[in-house]
Structure 1
Amino acid sequence: MKVTKLDTFVAIANALDVSADTLLIDVVAHSVTGVTNELTEKIENFRSKSRKKSSK
């Protein structure tokens, strides 16, 4: 994914006559899902390692 400069992003929003959050809504929703999935995976890995240590 290519990152757009802020001034370019603002110009696009202005040209389309929409707010920045309207342009970002899909990006933010996917980012949150990705972060949530990553955190869940890390927590599960931690729990698994903790169980292995406690059983020793």
Structure 2
Amino acid sequence: MSTPPPADDGRKLLTLRVSRDSGQTWSPLVEITPADDLPPVTTSVWPPCQCPQHRKP
């Protein structure tokens, strides 16, 4: 028995914009909804760091 995909009812779980220059400019808006197919979190560290120092080789 398979689970049906979640309904996209317009809810947003996360809305994110990133600035890398102290708020002078911003990245495009990214919205995460229940219908997005995201990989499961594989670590208890949050948020998962992707910087060169902590990224797995």
TM-score normalised by length of structure 1:
0.19
More strand by proportion, 1 or 2?
Answer: 2
Give the structure, 1 or 2, with the largest relative contact order (CA under 8 Å, sep 6 or more).
2
The structure with more radius of gyration: 1
Give the structure with the higher percent helix.
1
